[in-house]
Structure 1
């Protein structure tokens, strides 16, 4: 019996979507289910997981309140600081930069990703350490300035490490902007500032929402920057998870924290998409 056109389309769709769906199921859905099962279990006497059904691990979340507080405070602040630096940069690249140099400048934004984040973070340890900026500040009469192992050092590392991830989505939104809208606004007598707030900024909000959500989500699980630039004094949830899984071997408690973290990530994605749809007036929002 000949295969109908509709059946062939469904078969082709299944063949195209099947590999990615299987990949996500094996490496995303199944691990999350395992973490969810661990979160309602108990810690075995020798460490690890022991089968049980209890919500005691979730009730004990306040014991790691410092890590939650630092993450929920510094992650959004870091994302906002990235946005404040990234938007003017992306605006210049997409609107003001000469066309012949634009790709070169965009490539320079991506260049830091060619070097390991670990190496770049260690560079900041030297810059912020006693032989770096504090030494220079002491020469101009500002002794005993401690920059390393502070929340400010962590925020600086966050902005430096995640800035390209904020710039690129905003750049894509601005690069797609129809220049005729700005020309029409100018012809109607609007000032450049008014054109920016009435045209450029609203149309770039999907890129802003994508960048903020992407950076914030990654920061919620950040481990390296707080560990190195915070010196063990600025704990993030990622640091707490490493301690619970690898050192304390309290898998159920770590799983409960991980499940809570995933719930916060889903909430952030939902809010970011709704805000982008509301202010930009479009549902064509690409959240990575």
Structure 2
């Protein structure tokens, strides 16, 4: 029997993660709540996230009577790990005959984008999944942060009038005034956090499904050896591994052609090193290899 399965990454939101099911048109038989360990977050962020998770567990289980399971997601800014995790989780549900609904309204965008791109990748690769995988977003009715800022401005005016009453009033006025000043100059966030050895994460495009067997062999072999000194070296290593009687010149040409095709499709990149063209997996290639086990690894003459 087909189940309606919802995968819901949890951040600092509550109502918009369950109301589409409790009050909207969506049905749910199973809900997976994904949450971060947030070991590096400050105490208030951890408290709020844990509170939202607890409330959602109770709402889905006790109030709505839906089977709910919570899972911890590590490395919420490591897209290279998040994407295979999302891909595998969605694919397993679909293979069981279930219909999957992915709510990308909450949690860090790295998690939401990983699940959205993984869902799209599966749809591109498997046209028959189109009625089984859905990605949806729920817009908040109100943004409480704007109301909080409004209240802070009122508090600042009040404290300004009474700061001469005591040092505590003056100290509190300075604290509130400083926060408002930071909001006015930086918005509701401040600075860019370092992650993955940089200040940004690039989200790759959805991998193409148009790969034939030899291209797949090349991708898995490049993953195995990490990189090759040249395309000629790649061809020789792959031929040696096969232990088959192969014409080296024609095989080199075949590898050259298919590597060029993989470069055009975005799976492989070529690094120029001392007049040599060194092929290596691009991000999309790495993601593809991590989500597609190698089939018939010794067969290369396809």
Which TM-score band applies after superposition, normalised by the shorter structure?
A: under 0.3
Higher relative contact order (CA 8 A, sep 6+): 1
Normalization by structure 1: what TM-score?
0.20
Taking structure 2 as the reference length, the TM-score comes to: 0.20
> Higher Cα Rg: structure 1 or 2?
2
